[in-house]
Amino acid sequence: MSTQPDPSPVFPNDVQLKSPDGASARISPYGAHVLSWIRPNGDECMFLSPQAEFRLGAAIRGGAPIIFPQFSGMGDLPKHGFARTLPWEVARTDADSAVFWLSENETTRLWPHRFLAEYTARIGGNRLEMTLSVTNIDISPFMFTAALHTYLRVNDVLQASVTGLRGLVYQDSANGGKESHEESDRVVFPGEVDRIYFQTPPLIQLIDENRTLSVSAEGFPDTVVWNPGAEKCAKLADMEPDGYLRFVCVEAAAIASPIVLVPGETWRGSQILSA
């Protein structure tokens, strides 16, 4: 397992975190996007494509994009909403944490609601906690879907598996959206896997050759598991043809039942990674 992040462009205003125990993270205010999370032993846990695009209007391929206020194409907005392709305000930073804000602006008004989104990333030891909160500051209720589209580095996706999902209903987006039941103890990746698991348990695990990563969520009832496989990866301009071999996306999500907020109400969801 590589212990260093992939070479990638660094925005001049990236927020750098370093905890007293040696853990570190790098976060771009563009999308409040976690680009890197390195454990105290030097193990990089995030995948970032060497061909990721770092330009306004483009989503960064890898790390942990924030999906809000729409998951995928499930609505009238551009795919995955606007949060991942807008600059967020850096509200405050400490050695081991950073807080970012996004509120209604000229670009977000294609979604006609007034809101305040807050995102917090916190590191320490072998743990990364990412928390998204959304407050309705409008005069009417609104609804949204959301996810933390986390790309987790693996040594070889063909040897990796995700556990803790057996018995759950999932929507198979790689098979026309067909609903199925997960019958296996381990989700493996012989080809494209693109599934939305509903009402997932609070803890699942990504097992790799050299590491077991626990993925827990609070406030997010669903989980997306995704890897494009060889054929689809080869068609992605911001990915190396064999890039699919080096990551699995395990995404805390709220998709099946959109979050509804009345004026003044706040929703909060977290994804906690620990190795």
**Choice among 44, 118, 182, 251 that is catalytic:** 251
pLDDT in tens, 59-83: 999 999 999 999 999 999 999 999 9
Domain with 200 in it: 15-274
Active-site residue, 33 included: no
Q: Is residue 188 part of a domain?
A: yes
- Sheet with 161-163: list strands edge to edge: 89-93, 97-103, 115-124, 127-136, 266-274, 212-218, 203-207, 161-163, 186-187
Residue 6 has pLDDT above 90, yes or no: no
Q: Are 200 and 165 in contact (CB under 8 A)?
A: yes
pLDDT in tens, 27-51: 999 999 999 999 999 999 999 999 9
In order of 67, 82, 107, 139, 142, the CA distances from 111 in angstroms are 14, 9, 9, 15, 10
Q: Is residue 3 part of a domain?
A: no
**Pairing mode of beta strands 178-181, 186-187:** unpaired
Q: What is the pLDDT of residue 210?
A: 82
**3-state secondary structure at position 184:** coil
The whole-angstrom separation of Cα 19 and Cα 123 is 7
CATH number for 259: 2.70.98.10
Q: What is the pLDDT of residue 13?
A: 87
Residue 254 has pLDDT above 50, yes or no: yes
pLDDT in tens, 191-230: 999 999 999 998 999 999 889 999 999 999 999 999 999 9
- Domain count of the fold of the chain: 1
The whole-angstrom separation of Cα 261 and Cα 275 is 34
Q: Is residue 96 part of a domain?
A: yes
Active-site residue, 192 included: no
Q: Is residue 134 part of a domain?
A: yes
Confidence band, pLDDT 50/70/90 cuts, at residue 11: low
**Choice among 113, 149, 183, 240 that is catalytic:** 149
pTM, two decimals, is: 0.94
Q: Is residue 169 part of a domain?
A: yes
Residue identified by tokens 């598996």 is 161
